[in-house]
Structure 1
């Protein structure tokens, strides 16, 4: 389960910048789904590779205000700040930008940059304004014709929503000093992460498959780069389609289409950012661990008439397949593990022997069918999948328990999250770690202080 951030603040972010990306010149309606330009040399980076003497990840905080007093009090070595944007605030109407909000966002970024703090921008695509929700066929639909109870719009398949998102990203890039950013984060869900809506969106846990509007099923109003269902009107779990038996191969192809649509959507948003003039990488938040290969094999054997832990199957999360596809279609993509030291790590740490820490050979074990994989925590699976894909990883702790964060009653306390997540970030070879949330270091909400962060990272 991912997080969106503390109430009133969007989902957390972190960044690593490896190389600039050349612009793609195709018009939005003509964009090819996979072809990408080659990477070219780059700008400010959070990668340890940019500073060979530095073995540690970069350190930072999530949901930063870039307030002068906080910048002055930040611990030594904590020099990354995530500044979050809000789509509904920048574009409250379809035909205008809120100049006051744009000025405030630009000022926040500039304050951090002027203080020597590297800034990652949260795109805020998970907060569409009301006028986007009102667009024709903007609502995502499941196999029963239901729309999400959490207000999710179809950021994956809808051409109308895609066009609105593209224009928003152009305006967002124009509103901030984009050449000074070290990352922009893009997701597809209302949590700002990779995935179709989760079980919380339907009111019926593990029940909904979110690809049954006219765009994904009939190709009507389909977003650029997407393709219609390979089995139109087939509902997972049904044993026949158009008068013939559905085979496991059919089910696997359908799920590959459903899961792959997420990567195609991120690739299209990344292309929009490049066309708007942004030259940095795109950070893709990855919640949970996705579907393990053995679990997917079992699911397709019964033509998807099953559910998988954390709703990963219906969210369309298959990191073993998705992350190589992401590496091939989004130049300089970075995977953000959004639950470093979440409840799955707590459970894995208590096993004998413990299974919480990344180890050499994890990438190979992930596809070998090793029975121990089910004991691995989310962070270890996602780090192994990213390593197989050759993608850098960053990470962030889940934060305090609550409906708008990734923390649960089974998670570590925030003090323990700080301690363990820092250790996991080092042990899993993450390029950067951001503590969630900045407010928890500068208010009395958690009991933590900047000095605690400094002590955790040895500064």
Structure 2
């Protein structure tokens, strides 16, 4: 299992704007690879980057799901040169987790991208000023996707995908479904503008002469078409991964990792009238557009990576939320959990979530360590219960056992939630 990604702090800058503060964390479904979770199934709880030495202890406490993650950079440090021993070790870890009674969610680790991928055609995103991103360009480069496909196919030769309950879907260059941050739009590399070297499923930039902040002005209608195309690039990356996994005979759940509130409808309308002047829109975090274009097939899970992130005062979902239109001003102040749940409901999608991981701004770090009812852990379980999430994974497993978070509190809350008492269970 790879170490946490050193680029994660750059992602944190994005998610602070999104939520106001979010981190990479994971909730996985309680399903097996053979059967989706039917309505009313028991809640599933797990940990992110689950530690093998805790497989049995956590299983006995009812923490049944484990998330295990690969690193593309470690598995294929040079093009075509795969670390077979590392893959075999990972496959043994999957088997050990299952032997302990855990279901396994697979993190493919595409965002741990090898350096050589950047040398491929259009290997990096390019913004309107010509600046290249550090992240690999999975949206607009067929060459990058082709290299990633070779890696995933090699993983599937060693890791039995029928033993995997769910796979985490990201945008490849980011650990969540996002473009790079920095207040820029990343759609101006050669292929994005001309169509040369684009994935076959992608169309080129519909207004290649336009540049944010210059190069003409888009009408609101043109701006809407451009945003639909831009967010559609993230949709296309998700679909591409789904199709590849289906080809490899994976039929479990797919978790679409989305942080924070993103650009909600009223904010989007303002951006459309202002020539797309919005420093968050460049990440593509427009969840109402993204989830509208993903299939409600019983396998697709809207994955909230920001449960109890302090947005919206960590408010809970209410019985009447489904009757509140997405464009209703009342929804603007909702927490990220409540908002993404509402978007998922609108689109007939299952929904799950995860708390912000440790190492964020000081306010969230205090909340993370706070074992009271006002702390992150208790708030997360309340949001899971009120919003009808399928469960919760704690980020990260190591923090439950090194004293940063309280393992006994987590185990008690798991017991309480499984017994229908989300606020208790210590006894």
TM range (shorter): 0.7 to 0.9
Say whether 1:146 aligns with 2:137.
no
- What's the offset of the Cα at 1:98? 0.4
Name the SS for the 1:357 alignment partner.
coil
Q: Deviations over 1:142-196 (max 9, x none)?
A: 0011012xx2010111111010111111112222121011100111154411111
User: What's 1:456 paired with?
Assistant: 413
Selected match of 2:115 from 107, 123, 130 = 130
Name the SS for the 1:140 alignment partner.
strand
User: What's 2:19 paired with?
Assistant: none
Say whether 1:325 aligns with 2:293.
yes
- What's the offset of the Cα at 1:399? 2.1
Q: Deviations over 1:18-38 (max 9, x none)?
A: 79xxxxxxxxxxxxxxxxxxx
- What's the offset of the Cα at 1:239? 7.2
Which residues of 2 match residues 56-455 of structure 1 at below 5 A? 56-67=42-53, 69-72=54-57, 74-148=59-133, 151-188=134-171, 190-199=173-182, 206=183, 208-238=184-214, 240=216, 246-307=218-279, 311=280, 313-327=281-295, 332-345=299-312, 348-349=313-314, 356-367=315-326, 369-402=327-360, 408=364, 411-413=367-369, 415=371, 416-444=375-403, 446-449=404-407, 451-455=408-412
Change (3 A) 1:319 1:433: same
- For the 8 Å contact 1:82–1:122, the answer to whether it is kept is yes
- For the 8 Å contact 2:306–2:337, the answer to whether it is kept is yes
Query: Matches of 1:431 and 1:5 in 2, distance apart?
Result: 27
Query: Matches of 2:278 and 2:58 in 1, distance apart?
Result: 51
Name the SS for the 2:106 alignment partner.
strand
Change (3 A) 1:289 1:141: same
Query: Matches of 1:187 and 1:121 in 2, distance apart?
Result: 12
Q: Say how many residue pairs are matched.
A: 397
Query: Matches of 1:13 and 1:70 in 2, distance apart?
Result: 17
Change (3 A) 1:303 1:411: farther
Query: Matches of 1:294 and 1:159 in 2, distance apart?
Result: 34
Query: Matches of 1:171 and 1:98 in 2, distance apart?
Result: 10
Say whether 1:43 aligns with 2:10.
no
Name the SS for the 1:326 alignment partner.
coil
- What's the offset of the Cα at 1:273? 1.2
TM-score by length of 1: 0.80
Query: Matches of 1:386 and 1:230 in 2, distance apart?
Result: 28
- For the 8 Å contact 1:152–1:190, the answer to whether it is kept is yes
Query: Matches of 1:73 and 1:392 in 2, distance apart?
Result: 25
User: What's 1:12 paired with?
Assistant: 25
Query: Matches of 1:409 and 1:124 in 2, distance apart?
Result: 25
Q: Deviations over 1:251-301 (max 9, x none)?
A: 110011001110011101111111122222221100111211111111111
Query: Matches of 1:425 and 1:155 in 2, distance apart?
Result: 32
Query: Matches of 2:102 and 2:317 in 1, distance apart?
Result: 29
- For the 8 Å contact 2:170–2:177, the answer to whether it is kept is yes
- What's the offset of the Cα at 1:412? 4.6
TM-score by length of 2: 0.86
- For the 8 Å contact 2:43–2:391, the answer to whether it is kept is yes
Query: Matches of 1:432 and 1:360 in 2, distance apart?
Result: 19
Alignment root-mean-square deviation, CA: 2.6
Name the SS for the 2:166 alignment partner.
strand
